[in-house]
């Protein structure tokens, strides 16, 4: 049944055209008949800005090299149907000029933009990462990158290295540091052109001898706004380390479950329970029972710098805990009524889908 659950377009073959844009299907499930079993093969067959749909699979997809602008979509990183299967890729490398590429709905370890190619305006949304997104080590080749709606989780590796990329937007993401070492930072090299807002960070780090942990490292001049930062480890009173310069914190909320957290001051909400509608700090941030809307009547309700709520559910970006791409509808129910067929018999099915929030 799972062959139906992602894209019903499989019924019409491995590629088709919508408004002069070709769509190709990649599927490495055993017995798949789409024509493409690797994403690289589909990219090579594509024209710039074509679309590639990657089927969920228990098999890891080979590493991907992107050498032209392309749209790559998976079903989501934590889908409700299809037994929770997703499309997993260890490494995506921008090996050519691919400005304008969109990547959404996948489970990825590493995404490498730090190559000798110009790749501006890349949009990375609604994915799960257990590794690092890395920008170029100059100011002219990886600018205007959007990283929104993703779930990052790892014990020790940093999640985003802005490097020298300009005008990056890092917003409405969940970031979970599962390891306990105080020095395992989450983001590095943010600069004064970086926007870092409306993220939720959950850190299980344990403070050093001065009750400090490292969240930001070698960041300079960054405005950090409307984020919710939660600490569950022992002896965590501040995040004042990481060789950072001139960071500005506005309208953020901090909360240390165990130890009183030092005040950031100004317009921030210091050591305040975020009062989510539903949340258990002992669970992973991507637990689908969580509801990151702020409870009505909370002192920080609609107190972001833009007059909206703090965190991922501020109404600007359509955040999805399941990582559904905002450009696509998603299936909520699929039933086959007659799964044993004789030749010439119609297959009776019932499909329900919701439009996404785009």
The pLDDT value given to residue 35: 80
The pLDDT value given to residue 341: 56
The answer to whether position 338 is within a domain reads: no
pLDDT in tens, 223-254: 999 999 999 999 999 999 999 999 999 999 99
Q: Quote the CA–CA distance of 56 and 160 in Å, as a whole number.
A: 25
Positions of the chain with pLDDT lower than 50, given as ranges: 1-13, 333-334, 336, 358
The pLDDT value given to residue 328: 65
Take residue 68 and report the two structure tokens written for it. 């032209």
The answer to whether position 343 is within a domain reads: no
Report the candidate in 78, 124, 86 with the shortest Cα–Cα distance to residue 289: 78
Q: Quote the CA–CA distance of 290 and 121 in Å, as a whole number.
A: 31
List Cβ neighbours of 92 (8 Å cut-off, separation of 6 or more): 63, 64, 66, 103, 108, 110, 111, 112
The answer to whether position 358 is within a domain reads: no
Q: Quote the CA–CA distance of 324 and 289 in Å, as a whole number.
A: 16
Which residue range forms the structural domain that includes residue 260?
20-328
Strand duo 146-148 + 123-125: pairing: parallel
The pLDDT value given to residue 75: 92
Decide: helix, strand or coil at residue 141.
Answer: coil
Radius of gyration of the chain (CA): 21
Please, what's the b/e burial string for 180-215 (b: 16 or more CB within 10 A of its CB; e: otherwise)?
bebebbbbbbbbebbbbbbbbbbbbbbbeeebbbbb
pLDDT in tens, 298-310: 999 999 999 999 9
How far out from the chain centre does Cα 320 lie? Answer: 9
The pLDDT value given to residue 118: 97
The answer to whether position 15 is within a domain reads: no
The pLDDT value given to residue 148: 98
Instruction: Write down the pTM of the prediction.
Output: 0.90
Take residue 109 and report the two structure tokens written for it. 């370890």
Q: Quote the CA–CA distance of 192 and 2 in Å, as a whole number.
A: 46
Contact 237, 259 (CB under 8 A): yes
Tally: H helices and E strands in the chain: 2, 28
Take residue 221 and report the two structure tokens written for it. 């001049």
The answer to whether position 9 is within a domain reads: no
Q: Quote the CA–CA distance of 65 and 44 in Å, as a whole number.
A: 10
Structure-token match 């359509």, residue found? 318
The answer to whether position 207 is within a domain reads: yes
Report the candidate in 195, 136, 140, 184 with the shortest Cα–Cα distance to residue 162: 136
The structural domain count of the chain equals 1
The answer to whether position 142 is within a domain reads: yes
The answer to whether position 91 is within a domain reads: yes
- CA angle 80–81–82, rounded 5-degree value: 135
Take residue 248 and report the two structure tokens written for it. 């500005």
**C-alpha neighbours within 13 Å on the C-beta side of residue 242:** 26
Q: Quote the CA–CA distance of 149 and 138 in Å, as a whole number.
A: 26
């Amino acid at each position: 049944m799972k062959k139906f659950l992602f894209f019903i377009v499989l019924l019409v073959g491995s590629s088709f055209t919508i408004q002069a844009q070709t769509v190709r299907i990649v599927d490495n499930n055993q017995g798949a008949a789409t024509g493409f079993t690797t994403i690289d093969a589909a990219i090579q067959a594509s024209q710039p800005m074509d679309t590639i749909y990657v089927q969920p699979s228990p098999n890891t997809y080979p590493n991907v090299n992107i050498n032209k602008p392309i749209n790559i979509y998976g079903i989501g990183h934590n889908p409700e149907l299809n037994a929770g299967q997703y499309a997993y890729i260890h490494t995506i490398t921008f090996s050519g000029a691919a400005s304008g590429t969109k990547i959404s709905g996948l489970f990825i370890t590493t995404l490498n933009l730090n190559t000798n190619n110009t790749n501006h305006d890349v949009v990375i949304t609604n994915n799960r990462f257990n590794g690092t997104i890395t920008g170029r080590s100059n100011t002219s080749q990886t600018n205007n990158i959007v990283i929104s709606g993703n779930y990052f989780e790892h014990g020790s590796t940093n999640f985003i290295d802005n490097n020298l990329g300009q005008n990056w937007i890092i917003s409405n993401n969940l970031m979970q540091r599962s390891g306990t070492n105080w020095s395992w930072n989450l983001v590095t090299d943010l600069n004064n052109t970086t926007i870092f807002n409306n993220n939720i960070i959950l850190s299980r780090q344990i403070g050093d001898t001065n009750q400090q942990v490292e969240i930001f490292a070698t960041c300079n001049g960054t405005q950090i706004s409307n984020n919710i930062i939660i600490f569950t480890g022992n002896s965590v009173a501040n995040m004042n380390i990481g060789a950072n310069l001139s960071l500005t914190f506005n309208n953020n909320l901090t909360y240390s479950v165990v130890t009183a957290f030092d005040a950031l001051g100004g317009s921030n909400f210091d050591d305040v329970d975020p009062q989510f509608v539903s949340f258990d700090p002992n669970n992973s941030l991507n637990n689908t029972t969580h509801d990151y809307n702020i409870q009505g009547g909370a002192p920080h309700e609609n107190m972001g710098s833009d007059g909206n709520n703090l965190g991922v559910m501020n109404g600007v970006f359509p955040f999805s805990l399941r990582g559904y791409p905002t450009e696509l509808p998603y299936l909520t129910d699929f039933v086959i009524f007659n799964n044993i067929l004789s030749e010439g018999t119609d297959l009776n099915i019932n499909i329900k889908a919701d439009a996404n929030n785009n």
